[in-house]
Amino acid sequence: MFRIVGEALALDALVLHVSGAEVGGVATFVGIVRVENAGKRVVAVEYHAYPAMAEKVMREIGEELERLFGSLRIAMVHRTGRLSVGEASVVIAVGAAHRREALAAVSHAIERLKHDVPIWKKEFYEDGSEWLEPASVVPRAGINK
Amino acid sequence: MGRDVVRVRVLLFARLRELVGSDAMEFDLMEGATLGELWERLREGFPSVRAFVHPPLMAVNQEYASPDRALTGGDEVAFFPPVSGG
């Protein structure tokens, strides 16, 4: 399951989605809107996405995870719209036969998502707002090739 | 025989969308024009884009592509800033 959604994220549903008779462990990552970033007090965050491409790149990341860590069950869901401090922006759940693959895959998944999936964050402060634009991100043409 | 004119759809996201004031538009190009040439066309047509100093990330049909990528009719092009999801 690889999706961009507009509503609140539910971890339980994703854990269920990646569970199964052959799954011995599920590892999860939940990204949460934090009150402080780079010394500024954050009051809200707006996430925007290019949904068709974001879901496609997430599926490609899923294929990469299985090449690296073997057979997995993967759920990766990112929320868009305006979020308050404390709300979940992204949830990743990976089910594997063994814990080591599940933990490694979920860690790899969030790093790849932050680097490649076309989603953008605008932070709102008490006195204004700002798009976050990491300075040195190199585009990856055809991440599966 | 001259080259054909082809039409591509351009999507803009995040700060680029705000600078241009539009989320999508269409451009007519000579067949074989590149992604980088299209970006220059956009910069010429919308001087506000010059506030965006770094080259953007570029995609064609929902896949990352480099500026030398040749475009064909019906392509869905996207220009956007470095990503910041998560």
Is A114's CB within 8 Å of B86's CB? yes
B42 touches chain A (CB under 8 A): no
Domain extent listing, chain B: 5-80
Report the pLDDT value the prediction gives residue A39, as an integer from 0 to 100: 85
Question: Is B5-80 CATH 3.10.20.30?
Answer: yes
Cβ-nearest to A113 among B11, B14, B86: B86
Report the pLDDT value the prediction gives residue A144, as an integer from 0 to 100: 39
Q: What angle do CA B81, B85, B86 make, to 5 degrees?
A: 160
CA distances from A114 to A107, B3, B5, B20 (A): 11, 40, 37, 25
Report the pLDDT value the prediction gives residue A47, as an integer from 0 to 100: 97
- Per-residue pLDDT tens digits for B24-56: 999 999 988 999 999 999 999 998 988 887 789
Residue of B nearest to A129 (CA): B15
Does the pTM surpass 0.80? The reply is yes
Is B80's CB within 8 Å of A118's CB? yes
Lowest mean pLDDT among A133-137, B16-20, B67-71: A133-137
- Per-residue pLDDT tens digits for A48-78: 999 999 999 999 999 999 999 999 999 999 9
A86 touches chain B (CB under 8 A): no
User: What confidence category does residue B59 fall into, taking pLDDT thresholds of 50, 70 and 90?
Assistant: very high
Count of A-B CB contacts under 8 Å: 87
Q: CA-CA distance, B81 to B18, in Å (whole number)?
A: 12
Is B84's CB within 8 Å of A115's CB? no
Ramachandran class of A20: left when φ > 0, alpha when ψ lies in -120 to 50, beta otherwise: left
Cβ-Cβ contacts under 8 Å, A109 against chain B: none
In single-letter form, the type of residue at position A19 comes to S
- Give the CA radius of gyration of chain A: 16
Cβ-Cβ contacts under 8 Å, A142 against chain B: 63-64
A143 pLDDT higher than 50: no
How far away is chain B from the Cα of A97, in angstroms, using its nearest Cα? 26
Mean of the per-residue pLDDT values for chain A?
A: 92
Mean per-residue pLDDT for B47-70? Answer: 92
Report the pLDDT value the prediction gives residue B2, as an integer from 0 to 100: 60
- Per-residue pLDDT tens digits for A29-39: 999 999 988 88
Whether residue B46 contacts residue B19, with contact meaning beta carbons closer than 8 Å, is answered with yes
